[in-house]
Amino acid sequence: MDLQTIQNAIDALPRHRFTHLPTPLQHCPRLSADLGGPRIWIKRDDLTGLAFGGNKSRYLEFTLAEATATGHDAAVLSAVVQSNHCRQFAAACARIGLKGVVVLRENDSTMGRKDPAQGNYLLDQLCGVDIRFAPPEQIGATVAAEKERLVQEGYKPFTGLSGMLSRVAYVQCALEIDAQCLSEGLEPSHLIIGSGGTSLSGLVAGLTMRGRTLNYTGTPQSKMGDRTDASARVAQAATDAAAHIGLECAPDPAAIAVTDAYVGTGFGFPDPETLSALRLLASSEGILVDPTYTGKAFTCLIDLVRKGRFGPDEDIVFVHTGGTPLLFAYGEELLVG
Ligand SMILES: Cc1ncc(COP(=O)(O)O)c(C=O)c1O
């Protein structure tokens, strides 16, 4: 399918514009040399903008446009204390003048701690959203109470932050990768991303519609349990994302691998492999990844290279989905390693 048809379908959706697109596709020759591996290209979605950027900035353009187009002037979001999503949401609310509330979930990993006040949690405060805390079992009730409070104060809170639009936003990212590959003369054979479904499925949709037949590896941040149909689910999610913008695609599930092999001891707990992977990328290319999302996906890339999965003449794309403010929340672990 031609690029303009897909672009027109995306452009038909309501959208605020606050990201800096296209993000660069950066060649990493020193990293390739250090690994003795393939040519590696990093799609720099850590540079989308909005208080340090990341993958959520793309979808917030669409989902908050739905909110404002339907007359909403406030929105509530809930996630862990150190959520990248909440930080980008807080910045987007500031940017478009929406009243934002975040309900933050505490837990025992660094991702769930508000002491020290660092990383995303600190940035939430600077962006001026209302911050509430709740233990996991009281999240639903706290979100409902906050919406009620906003209504009492005369706001019209938005409740429909949309996972589907996260996928569509990554169709846009896929179009950028496709165009950048065309201009560099690349035919990437493999794409790796720290996503178990949402961003990954948007990329699969966009690149499949553009006729590209690469293999995909997605790394979720938590164990998947005994779920065995992740590839088929991502393929179906990609088909649904295309259908949402009136297009068709039928990706091959056999080209999609979703692996929780790099989760380590669990969500938010860094492991030695991840810390050494993020040091390698920082020291070879000056590119920073975080210990929870992109660092674990990057550990996957290193592992696949070391296992000989790619020839020296292959081009591999790693999608950097952001999360860099988390480095400051993990200062202690990073210094000790
Ligand atoms: C930096 C980063 N990378 C990846 C993800 C996962 O993205 P997705 O929900 O598209 O799987 C997140 C989710 O919060 C994230 O913050």
Report the pLDDT value the prediction gives residue 162, as an integer from 0 to 100. Answer: 86
Residue type, 150: L
Q: Tell me, yes or no, whether 47 and 65 share the same domain.
A: no
Q: How does pLDDT run across 237-270, given as a tens digit for each residue?
A: 999 999 999 999 999 999 999 999 999 999 999 9
**For 102-126, what is the mean pLDDT?**
95
* Mean pLDDT over the full length of the chain: 96
Q: How does pLDDT run across 78-91, given as a tens digit for each residue?
A: 999 999 999 999 99
Site to substitute for ligand 1 among 45, 192, 221, most atoms within 8 A of C-beta: 221
Q: Tell me, yes or no, whether 196 and 267 share the same domain.
A: yes
Domain final position from 125, 158, 191: 158
Which of 222, 226, 220, 293 lies closest to 258 in space, CA to CA? Answer: 220
Residue 201 among the catalytic residues: no
Q: How does pLDDT run across 165-210, given as a tens digit for each residue?
A: 999 999 999 999 999 999 999 999 999 999 998 999 999 999 999 9
Ligand 1 pocket by Cβ (under 6 Å) = 54-55, 84-85, 166, 194-199, 293-294, 321-323
CATH number of the domain enclosing 30:
3.40.50.1100
Q: Which atom of ligand 1 lies closest to the CA of 163?
A: 9
Site to substitute for ligand 1 among 55, 78, 319, most atoms within 8 A of C-beta: 55
Alpha carbon separation from 182 to 84, 171, 175, 242 (Å, rounded): 31, 16, 11, 22
Buried b (16+ CB within 10 A) or exposed e, 256-269: bbbbbebbbeebbb
Domain count, the chain: 2
Q: Tell me, yes or no, whether 88 and 236 share the same domain.
A: no
Residue 336 has pLDDT above 70, yes or no: no
Q: What are phi and psi of 73, to 5 degrees?
A: -125, 15
Domain hosting 84: range is 55-158
Q: Tell me, yes or no, whether 130 and 212 share the same domain.
A: no
Q: What is the DSSP string of 62-103?
A: HHHHHHHHTT--EEEEEEETT-HHHHHHHHHHHHHT-EEEEE
Name the catalytic one among 32, 57, 78, 83.
83
Q: Give the distance (Å) from ligand 1 centre to CA of residue 173.
A: 14
Angle of CA points 12, 17, 18, to nearest 5° = 155
Q: Give the distance (Å) from ligand 1 centre to CA of residue 321.
A: 7
> In the structure, what pLDDT confidence band is assigned to residue 37 with cuts at 50, 70 and 90?
confident
Q: Tell me, yes or no, whether 207 and 101 share the same domain.
A: no
